Chain A
Amino acid sequence: QLQLQESGPGLVKPSQTLSLTCTVSGGSISSSDYYWTWIRQPPGKGLEWIGYIYYSENTNYTPSLRSRVSISADTSKNQFSLKLSSVTAADTAVYYCARYSLRHYGELDYWGQGTLVTVSS
């Protein structure tokens, strides 16, 4: 059974860089059938796709965050990571990692439990 687990600091100061890691077990992030994705949800609000990585090096980001976001992968650890620079209070959210399946129509079929990141001094 595939499992995804987010990890990283729960508190980040304004203007600093948010860094999170998603550890995948029960499947390989090197698979050509999947994109590995980050999504966030501000408290009490809806879901926002941040970006994905596939083949461990190809990335795509949402335009509104493109200047501040970076997603990378470490295949030796079966992990992928998110970096978001110059954070503000508006970046406070629960951050989820998820698997996007290319086998059908691009659904997000497995999700991590999510981790709350608060931006505050």
Chain B
Amino acid sequence: DIQMTQSPSSLSASVGDRVTITCRASQSISSYLHWYQQKPGKAPKLLIYAASSLQGGVPSRFSGSGSGTDFTLTISSLQPEDSATYYCQQSSSAPWTFGQGTKVEIK
């Protein structure tokens, strides 16, 4: 199985801050990497697919980059509604696997 490791596990930042979350795969997954946002009691929501493509309706302050084994999710200007847990997920090979999540809190 491909292991996905996110860092940090949690972070606290102020409104307007630039926030970066990283995701590392245990082997190369090309661009088969997706990012999801999950708020308490809700289903995950797709933010970024194929490492860097913004899903329709997602604010442009979210962006993704990377390929191979190292990936980044960036929130350019953190907003109060961005308080959530963020997960990366690989679809390069089954079993598809998720990172352990990064909890983003607003100071």
Residues of A within 8 A of B (CB): 46-49, 60, 62-63, 96, 98, 100-101, 104-109, 111-114
Contact = CB atoms under 8 A, between A and B. Distances in A.
A100 B89 CA distance: 12
A112 B55 contact: no
Given A105-B31, A106-B34, A109-B46, 10 more contacts: A46-B100, A47-B101, A48-B98, A98-B43, A105-B33, A106-B32, A106-B96, A107-B55, A108-B46, A109-B55
A109 B42 CA distance: 15
B95 interface: yes
A49 B97 contact: yes
Q: Most chain-A CB neighbours within 10 Å: which of B44, B45, B53, B99?
A: B44
Given A105-B32, A105-B49, A49 B43 contact: no
A100 B91 contact: yes
Interface in B44-71: 44-46, 49-51, 53, 55
A75 to B, nearest CB: 23
A98 B51 CA distance: 19
A109 B49 contact: yes
Nearest to A64: B95
A112 B45 CA distance: 10
A47 B87 contact: yes
Contacts of B43: 96, 98, 111-114
Contacts of B44: 47, 96, 108, 111
Contacts of A113: 42-43
Nearest to A60: B94
A65 to B, nearest CB: 9
A43 B95 CA distance: 21
